[in-house]
Structure 1
Amino acid sequence: MSRDYLRPALLIFASIAIGVVGWSGHVLLLPVALGFPILWSLAQTRLVAALASVGYFLAASRGLPQGVAAFYSSDIWPGLLLWLCASLSFVVVHAVLWTKNTRVRPSRYLLAAVIMAIPPFGITGWAHPVTAAGVLFPGWGWWGLGFMTAGLAGLAARIWPAVAIAFAGLWLWSAASWTEPHLPNGWRGVDLELGASLGRDVDLHRQRDLIATVRNAVSDGARYVVLPESALGYWTSTVERFWTGAFSDGDVTVITGAAMIDPRGYDNVVVAIDRKGARILYRERMPVPGSMWQPWRFLVGESGGARADFFANPVVPIGAGRAAPLICYEQLIVWPVLQSMLHDPGFIIAVGNGWWTDGTSIVAIQRTTATAWAKLFAKPLVIAFNT
């Protein structure tokens, strides 16, 4: 192979490898994703930069086609189409902002990183390398995020070897002393393995089983018990009365997912239930684009789909403190958690319903990103997933 083709091919294959390893679902491997800005800056043409972006993003989100096929009970082709469409914004941003001017290139990459972190492009801003800040700068908070942001620009500059060495040292130090985020006192997250039936099978037997699960957690000393996304299915007055009645004589608070439907669509919510009654604690800011959030329905005069409350309720009061809830897809993108951290919550609640991701690394990546952000801002973390 001639030299003209060997270098671009190596860059593209290296980008794929970085996407696979960095986003494998192991939190301490997140810094591998920091190799992408280096490869992007080493590209000698806009086409190679675009192809490197394609390789990185598709490798990082490789579980999507299989997950979509499982979700819709269809063949792989709809998933492949969504996979390619989702990569479009990432690739376009990084291809357009690439430049031959090496002096300008670091600021261009920094601009691309910012654009992919906030709406509208940030709506599909998965696999963002800035997430590795939680591994390299645990407990540093906004200072750590600032150093990481500056480091991303440095990795796209001629000084990238020095920046990479510094980051490698921080990575080794962090890995040697790594500890998982701790639970808030009195809290318990309950993982379930109920598959696709969770939220769909809502008969009396299932409700009683969930209540028994909560009571088992309470018997172990928990006062706040978190169940996964969609655990209660549709939130109705009947479901509300049943659950509030079940805990009317205790001192436990149940935090659980549900869906609220009206003629225009539905809200993906988190509900708080205790002896005083029930209330909507949180409305999801960013539902999954395509399968849940379908804004084109409004343009053609149709109803349906989940509503997106982009910048609403970043923190919610619960007990004596405030929490930053993140439902499922919100754990994969940057701006929901950063918006919540601006309000300095006491802890993070991460819930999801990942039955459709069986055989993929999607749930592991969601747990990894939630863990990384919790470590960066030194926040306790409560996780509850259904698989």
Structure 2
Amino acid sequence: MSHAGMLIGLAIVVGIAGWSGHVLALPVAFLFPALWAFSRSRLVAAAVSAGYFLAASRGLPQGVANFYASDLWPGLLLWIAASSSFVGVHAALWTKRPGRRRALRYLAAAVLMALPPFGIVGWAHPITAAGVVFPGWGWFGLAAAAAGLLAMTTKWWPAAAIVLGGFWLWSAATWTPPSLPDEWTGVDLELGQSLGRDVTLERQQELLAAVRRKAGEGARIVVLPESALGFWTPTVDRLWRHELGGTAVTVVAGAAIVGHDGYDNVLFEVWAEGATILYRERMPVPVSMWQPWRGWLGQRGGARAHFFANPVVELDGARIAPLICYEQLVVWPVLLSMLFRPSVIVATGNGWWTAGTSIVAIQNASAIAWARLFRLPLVTAFNR
């Protein structure tokens, strides 16, 4: 096998293994910078980047097919289109000159893929593994992971790999999952695509019953998945406040608020005496939800993106970093939230469309890694 073929093959293996959905496997992604750096031409660097990204995001074609009830072709086209930013950035910044220049080029690529606009599709970012290699180190762990990634692009990569591998093995041997805040709990559901679309009273009562069960187990704050309440209406408001009457339970649940030019994907806070919008999603799923071209064409519809709004929200004296679905796959929403010193991460999702893929598992692994990096409790609630 040629040198280029070997690098591309290894990049595919790294993408598959690192983004398998197992949190302790995330540090495998630390090998990508070395494969990129030791490509012998810009074309090979582009192919290596494509192999890694496409392998890491391999669930996208099937997910798109599930979402639109179509064949795989639309998903394949979107999969390839989504990879263009990652491949283009890494190809453009690759250099054959070794040493500090190459490391700085990789640093630029990593930063670009972590922040908007390129970071909007910055999936599979190796820095996500910082929480596995350096759990509890916070911003120092992030800096140490970044230094490790840069070292992997230099001639000192074997030493860097040994050091990072040592920290990884120690972390795996002593690994503990994030804690759950006292009196908080999340509710996982298996209601498929009917969640948020079934607006019957029976469905609302089913969700209320799940909340009551958790309250009976001692929970005071119950988190339901993204889209659990469907479109928020005065009728839904009255029903939930009435049914929660006489209890001390607060429900955090996903819903949609429709406006004249689109809708907001939100988390609602609901209790016996009232209900209010707790959080507006900063980064909805591009294409299927966030469709900015509609506004450019004078059309309406799609989810609004509140890019830098509400990085943390207050609930019951706690500072919450909310992450809805897609926000768990990219870097900048969680890092923006961490700047405001939250006390808990709340991660929700409605992953019915990911059936047959590892996307929800990858989302969960990413949320766990970030929670462990910053030593924060984590509450999750997903629908499949």
TM-score by length of 2: 0.99
Residue type of the alignment partner of 2:33? P
Structure 2, unaligned runs of 5 or more: none
Instruction: Give the superposition deviation at 1:40.
Output: 0.3
Offset from partner CA, 1:98-133 (integer Å, 9 cap, x none) = 011112111100110000000000000000000010
Residue type of the alignment partner of 1:203? T
- Report 1:36-185 matches (<5 A): 36-103=32-99, 104-185=101-182
Aligned residues: 383
Instruction: Give the superposition deviation at 1:276.
Output: 2.1
Look up the SS of the partner of 1:116 in the other structure: helix
Distance 2:176 2:54 in 1: 30
Q: Does 1:385 align with 2:382?
A: yes
Instruction: Give the superposition deviation at 1:157.
Output: 1.0
Residue type of the alignment partner of 2:4? P
Pick aligned residue for 2:4 from 3, 8, 15:
8
Residue type of the alignment partner of 2:200? D
Look up the SS of the partner of 1:88 in the other structure: helix
Offset from partner CA, 1:251-287 (integer Å, 9 cap, x none) = 0000000000012000000000012200000000000
Q: Identity over the aligned pairs, expressed in percent?
A: 64
Q: Does 1:343 align with 2:367?
A: no
Pick aligned residue for 2:23 from 17, 24, 27:
27
Distance 1:149 1:15 in 2: 19
Offset from partner CA, 1:154-211 (integer Å, 9 cap, x none) = 1111111111000000000000000000100000000000001000001000001100
Distance 2:370 2:260 in 1: 36
Distance 1:240 1:82 in 2: 37
Look up the SS of the partner of 1:21 in the other structure: helix
Pick aligned residue for 2:364 from 359, 363, 367:
367
Distance 1:209 1:306 in 2: 27
Residue type of the alignment partner of 1:96? A
Distance 2:187 2:247 in 1: 19
Offset from partner CA, 1:5-40 (integer Å, 9 cap, x none) = x10000000000000000000000000001100100
Look up the SS of the partner of 1:257 in the other structure: strand
Q: Does 1:303 align with 2:314?
A: no
Residue type of the alignment partner of 1:15? A
Look up the SS of the partner of 2:70 in the other structure: coil
Residue of structure 2 in register with 1:196 after alignment: 193
Structure 1, unaligned runs of 5 or more: none
Pick aligned residue for 1:353 from 347, 350, 355:
350
Instruction: Give the superposition deviation at 1:249.
Output: 1.4
Distance 2:75 2:241 in 1: 40
Residue type of the alignment partner of 1:245? H
Distance 2:27 2:150 in 1: 15
Instruction: Give the superposition deviation at 1:151.
Output: 1.1
Distance 2:44 2:19 in 1: 22
Distance 2:180 2:90 in 1: 38
Residue type of the alignment partner of 2:88? V
Distance 1:276 1:142 in 2: 39
Instruction: Give the superposition deviation at 1:248.
Output: 2.1
- Report 1:220-259 matches (<5 A): 220-259=217-256
Instruction: Give the superposition deviation at 1:298.
Output: 0.7
Between 238-247 and 277-286, report the one with greater CA deviation: 238-247
Distance 1:130 1:368 in 2: 13
Distance 2:145 2:245 in 1: 48
Offset from partner CA, 1:293-313 (integer Å, 9 cap, x none) = 000011110010000000000
Distance 2:12 2:260 in 1: 44
Instruction: Give the superposition deviation at 1:320.
Output: 1.5
Residue type of the alignment partner of 2:66? A
Distance 1:9 1:278 in 2: 57
TM-score by length of 1: 0.98
Offset from partner CA, 1:209-240 (integer Å, 9 cap, x none) = 10011000000000000000000100111111
Offset from partner CA, 1:31-63 (integer Å, 9 cap, x none) = 000110010011010000000000000000000
Distance 1:99 1:253 in 2: 54
Residue of structure 2 in register with 1:282 after alignment: 279
Distance 2:356 2:187 in 1: 21
Residue of structure 2 in register with 1:208 after alignment: 205
Distance 1:372 1:68 in 2: 26
Look up the SS of the partner of 2:322 in the other structure: strand
Residue type of the alignment partner of 1:363? V
